Structure 1
Amino acid sequence: MTADVLNISNVDKDRGKTRVLNDVSLMVQPGKRVALLGHNGAGKSTLIKSILGLTPIHSGAITVDGAAPGTGAARRATAYLPEAVSFHPALTGREQLTLFAKLDGAKADIAGLLKRVGLSDALDRRIGTYSKGMRQRLGLAQVLLGKPAVALLDEPTSGLDPISRQDLYAIIDQLAGQGTAVLIASHALTEVEARTDRIAIMSKGHLVADDTLTGLSRRAGLPIRLRVRATDNADAIAAQIGGQRINGASVELHCTPDDKMAQLRRITDLGDAVADLEITPPKLEDLYRHFAAQDASEDLS
């Protein structure tokens, strides 16, 4: 297994006169979970299809566990969960997964896999009776067959209730724990913010950001919000540290990441005048808007 089990290097892809992937480079190491974010039309689906070998690229290179997309070796190394899974409605969950296992040549505990994704009560029901969320769970069980080097998950929580979403990310954690490189294309920013190792953001075919959440925050330089709740006198606190009074009892101010520690020391020096302190860093939604807007402004320049 290579150091970067999924390696995308300087990839360009044209559709007619439109460049839908523009010099995209992205690497995913074994055991890492990378979120791939972007608006509709940003290039996420095209990139995933290119990794799967379903659509050719015009320049650059992609390797999956050292193999070219679409080759037998790459297919054996890759597991894929599309946003809209489709199975034969007349088969039961057990029959469908058994068929996949035979096609893959994998020896699997079918009942155990279906239990793992929460389908133990429906393993002998026909798939035609499954809800969308249940079909999504069955698709995830297919991903778990064998030990894929790379798992590509396209909107994996689509159709799932909140508890099922938590269960799914727990399974994704297990996948990563066994050494699988996981690439998750998603619009659910709140979910991936806490459950991935890196965030990759696409905009208009460009990869505009690729870093940890902390690294993205540092690069963006977006302000951190500090809210200080006064013990008695919010006006006195505001006079010393600046900021704006909130609800008569608190003071809110913003600082840059570089100034955060200095500002916290000033607040600490206030002693018992401070009853509480809330620190709110930029959220992933803020960072996403920042980098996507940055790409748009560059296009206009």
Structure 2
Amino acid sequence: MSETIILLEQVNKHYQKINALQDIDLRLEAGEVLGLFGHNGAGKTTMMKLILGIIKVSAGNISVFGLDPLDKQAWASRKKIGYLPENVSFYDQLSGTEVLTYFARLKSAPKNQIVELLEKVGLADAKDRAAKTYSKGMRQRLGLAQAFLGNPKLLLLDEPTVGLDPSATQEFYSSVDQLKSSGASIILCSHVLPGVEQHIDRAMILSAGKSAAIGSLQDLRDAAQLPVSIKTKGINGALKNNAQLAGFMVAHNHLLVPESQKVQIIRQLMEFENISDIQVEAASLEHIYQHYLADNKRSIEQESKL
């Protein structure tokens, strides 16, 4: 039986007249990666601050490693948490090595990790330079190294790939996969959706402080009844001459078909003698995200009319 690392039950957070979060339910298990998505102001950073115990819930219950994050006993468990804020800042006069040494002491992390992590994030050559000389991308990589200190059992990553080049981004996701395989739980908040989906187990989409959707990508696709994209080569326009297939056409040699009819349509396409290639793609994370945001917006508009 897996261990519940984070539990949110009907969590609300209000700032005067602003409802930052409303009736949020979430259970995150050990070794699970959750992608947290939403527009600016949707409540993503507020949720992370609640989990960290930086701010207090207005209503509802929250527990991290079985304890209220604001409980005095929860302070010890913070050493098991790695956090990367959206806007990374350090003491400018400290070098990269000194920054990680400082955080290693706070988290009681082994010092031999410092050299290893600096190499892993590509800062080995800049380890003795002052942080004020680092570019935005270098600061982001130093922030990642800080978050990975101590082999955390819970990682909260707010826009972790901002400022990273493709190589560094790939290395970051490799680290996420390694931590997941070791049993760590991860909440990954990002606006950069391409490349994220193969690294998460579930997605949670926030809109105006409410949960618009939560579940595995396949569950969300099924619930939304999003179509499958099928592109062909070699048929040379013959699709439009097939009465059944023509109904699914959205462009030359491009079909959008319901998931339930995918296999049937593929079989039909394979009967074309001249077909040379076929590409099948389920709805991407971007499509899922846009669908649920639009659906939530419609619900809000309907409620306002009542």
Task: Name the TM-score, length of structure 2 as normaliser.
Answer: 0.90
**2:28 is aligned with 1:28:** yes
Deviation at 1:241, TM superposition (A): 3.0
Deviation at 1:299, TM superposition (A): 1.1
Deviation at 1:142, TM superposition (A): 1.3
Relative to structure 1, the CA distance from residue 226 to residue 243 in structure 2 (aligned partners, 3 Å threshold; closer, same or farther) is: farther
Q: Is the 8 A contact 1:64 1:150 kept in 2?
A: no
Equivalent residue for 1:77, pick from 67, 80, 94: 80
Residue 19 of structure 1: SS of its match in structure 2? Answer: strand
Give a deviation string over 1:9-34, Cα, whole Å, max 9, x none. 21011111222111101122222211
Q: Is the 8 A contact 1:92 1:124 kept in 2?
A: yes
Aligned mates of 2:236, 2:287 — CA distance in 1 = 33
Aligned mates of 2:34, 2:48 — CA distance in 1 = 13
Amino acid at match of 1:91: L
Deviation at 1:218, TM superposition (A): 0.9
Aligned mates of 1:293, 1:230 — CA distance in 2 = 36
Aligned mates of 2:186, 2:168 — CA distance in 1 = 19
Residue 5 of structure 1: SS of its match in structure 2? Answer: strand
**2:167 is aligned with 1:163:** yes
Deviation at 1:235, TM superposition (A): 5.7
Q: Percent identity?
A: 39
Deviation at 1:39, TM superposition (A): 0.3
Detail structure 1 runs of 4+ shifted over 4 Å in the superposition: 243-247
Q: Is the 8 A contact 2:237 2:253 kept in 1?
A: no
Aligned mates of 2:106, 2:279 — CA distance in 1 = 54
Give a deviation string over 1:115-173, Cα, whole Å, max 9, x none. 12211111111111111111111111111211222110000011111111111111111
Aligned mates of 1:183, 1:246 — CA distance in 2 = 36
Deviation at 1:243, TM superposition (A): 4.3
**2:258 is aligned with 1:267:** no
Amino acid at match of 2:133: T
Relative to structure 1, the CA distance from residue 246 to residue 196 in structure 2 (aligned partners, 3 Å threshold; closer, same or farther) is: closer
Aligned mates of 2:229, 2:120 — CA distance in 1 = 41
**2:47 is aligned with 1:47:** yes
How is 1:190-205 mapped onto 2 (pairs within 5 angstroms)? 190-205=194-209
How is 1:57-136 mapped onto 2 (pairs within 5 angstroms)? 57-70=57-70, 71-109=74-112, 110-136=114-140
Q: Is the 8 A contact 2:250 2:256 kept in 1?
A: no
User: Structure 1 stretches of 5 or more lacking a match?
Assistant: none
Aligned to 1:251: 253
Give a deviation string over 1:266-293, Cα, whole Å, max 9, x none. 223x242433222232121111111111
- CA RMSD, aligned part only? 2.1
Aligned mates of 2:21, 2:249 — CA distance in 1 = 47
Equivalent residue for 1:214, pick from 188, 211, 218: 218
Amino acid at match of 2:63: T
Structure 1 residues 224-233 or 283-292, which shifts more?
224-233
Residue 293 of structure 1: SS of its match in structure 2? Answer: helix
Residue 143 of structure 1: SS of its match in structure 2? Answer: helix
Deviation at 1:2, TM superposition (A): 6.8
Deviation at 1:191, TM superposition (A): 2.6
